[in-house]
Amino acid sequence: MRRLIFLAGVLVPLQAHDIVSTAVTWDREISRIVYARCASCHHPGGTAFSLMTYQAARPWAAAIKEAVLRRQMPPWGAVKGFGEFRNDEALTSEQLELVTSWSEGGAPEGDPKDLPPAPKVWENPALPDERGALSISGRARLTHALLLDGLLPRNLPLHASIKILVRLPDGSLQPLLWLQNYDPRYPHAFLLRSPLSLPPFTVIEGVPPGASVMLIPANPAPRKPRP
């Protein structure tokens, strides 16, 4: 489920007569998972179909289950990289089990008193502040030290699979961001759990020619006041 834009091809609406065989409900468990992991795109007027209410989400229950069982990846593709990303939207094993149990058990709504407040998605922009960001393409060498906060792919082809590596001045290599089947229609920044200090003469490798990636600094320059 991690985000569910890629599910249209496996949509199987549940019928009203489905037998309920689970204690997991939308109002108590599933809504909290959706609000925490999916709301930034899956809200009315967002970049994907809304999942903000039971009535909106229920027809997607079978597709949600298929996604977590078969794909288990967000719409921008599978991701690996340096450490962990603090904005990783992966579901935990427990959350995956809850979604599967809910879908296979008839997708019950539950008791409205258990429903949490809907998130204010507009308070959580999907993309980071790009002030001071450095755009790189191909093989790039840093001329100054950079405290890296994250990366934002730009201009990648559809379903691109790339491995971006850092070659430090001592010659050692570190994985920075590995993407598989990336979908640029759903731009996503990958923010490091902890900023990574890159010294001068660090080389960034793996960005395809013609594509670009924004290196987002952890200490962006302050905005200049408007005249």
pLDDT tens track of the chain, all 227 residues?
333 333 333 334 444 446 889 999 999 999 998 888 777 777 887 767 788 999 999 998 887 777 665 544 454 445 555 446 777 666 777 888 899 999 999 999 999 999 999 887 654 445 667 778 999 999 999 999 999 999 988 888 888 888 899 999 999 998 888 887 777 777 778 888 889 999 999 999 999 888 999 999 997 655 444 44
Starting at the edge strand that comes first in sequence, how are the strands of the sheet with 203-205 ordered? Answer: 78-81, 173-182, 160-167, 203-205, 140-141
Tell the residue number behind the tokens 């990783």, with chain if given. 88
Cβ atoms of 212 and 155 closer than 8 Å = yes
Starting at the edge strand that comes first in sequence, how are the strands of the sheet with 134-136 ordered? Answer: 134-136, 212-217, 146-154, 190-198
Alpha-carbon distances of 163 from 23, 153, 206, 209, rounded to whole Å: 42, 12, 5, 13
Say how many C-beta atoms besides its own lie within 10 A of residue 19's C-beta. Answer: 6
Tokens of 157: 């082809």
Sign of the alpha-carbon torsion through 58, 62, 63, 68: positive
Q: If we measure between CA atoms, which residue out of 78, 82, 75 comes closest to residue 37?
A: 75
Q: If we measure between CA atoms, which residue out of 118, 154, 104, 126 comes closest to residue 3?
A: 126
* Plot region of 31 (φ>0 → left; ψ -120 to 50 → alpha; else → beta): alpha
Tokens of 58: 């229920």
